[in-house]
Amino acid sequence: MASRASSATNWARRVALVTGASAGIGATVCEHLVLRLGMKVIGCARNIDKIEESAVKLRQANTTGSLHAIKCDLRHEDEILAMFAEIKEKYGGVDVCVNNAGLAHPATLLEGKTEQWRNMFDVNVLALCICTREAYQSMKERNIDDGYIIHISSMSGYRLEQPATNVYAATKHSVKALTEGLRLELREIKSNIRITSISPGDVSTEFCLRMYPDDPSIHEKSEAAKKCLEPKDLADAVVHVLQTPPHVQVHDLLMRPTEQTT
Ligand SMILES: NC(=O)c1ccc[n+]([C@@H]2O[C@H](COP(=O)([O-])OP(=O)(O)OC[C@H]3O[C@@H](n4cnc5c(N)ncnc54)[C@H](OP(=O)(O)O)[C@@H]3O)[C@@H](O)[C@H]2O)c1
**Hey, where are the domains in the chain?**
15-255
Helices 166-188 + 114-121 axis angle, to 10? 30
Q: Is the pLDDT of residue 2 over 70?
A: no
Distance 180 CA to ligand 1 centre (A): 22
Atom 43, ligand 1: which residue's CA is nearest? 20
Sequence-distant (≥ 6) Cβ neighbours of residue 18 within 8 angstroms = 26, 29, 30, 33, 41, 42, 43, 44, 98, 100
Q: Is the pLDDT of residue 149 over 70?
A: yes
Q: Which CATH architecture has domain 15-255?
A: 3-Layer(aba) Sandwich (3.40)
Q: Is residue 26 within 6 Å of ligand 1 at its C-beta?
A: yes
Q: Is the pLDDT of residue 32 over 60?
A: yes
Q: Provide the pLDDT for residue 214.
A: 95
Q: Is residue 123 within 6 Å of ligand 1 at its C-beta?
A: yes
Across residues 32-41, what is the average pLDDT? 98
**Of 150, 254, 242, nearest in space to 196 by CA:** 150
Q: Is residue 103 within 6 Å of ligand 1 at its C-beta?
A: yes
The percent helix, strand, coil of the chain (3-state, each to 5) is: 45, 15, 40
Q: Is residue 211 within 6 Å of ligand 1 at its C-beta?
A: no
Ligand 1 nearest atom to the CA of residue 47, by list position: 40
Distance between CA 121 and CA 61 in Å, rounded? 37
Residue 145: pLDDT band by 50, 70, 90 thresholds? very high
Distance 175 CA to ligand 1 centre (A): 15
Sequence-distant (≥ 6) Cβ neighbours of residue 189 within 8 angstroms = none
Q: Provide the pLDDT for residue 192.
A: 98
Q: Provide the pLDDT for residue 244.
A: 98
Positions annotated as catalytic residues are: 168
Q: Is residue 23 within 6 Å of ligand 1 at its C-beta?
A: yes
Distance between CA 255 and CA 25 in Å, rounded? 14
Across residues 87-111, what is the average pLDDT? 98
Q: Provide the pLDDT for residue 6.
A: 80
Q: Provide the pLDDT for residue 3.
A: 60
Q: Is residue 75 within 6 Å of ligand 1 at its C-beta?
A: yes
Residue among 19, 41, 42, 46 to mutate when testing ligand 1 (max atoms within 8 A of CB): 46
Atom 17, ligand 1: which residue's CA is nearest? 207
| HSE-CB for 68 with a 13 A CA cutoff | 16
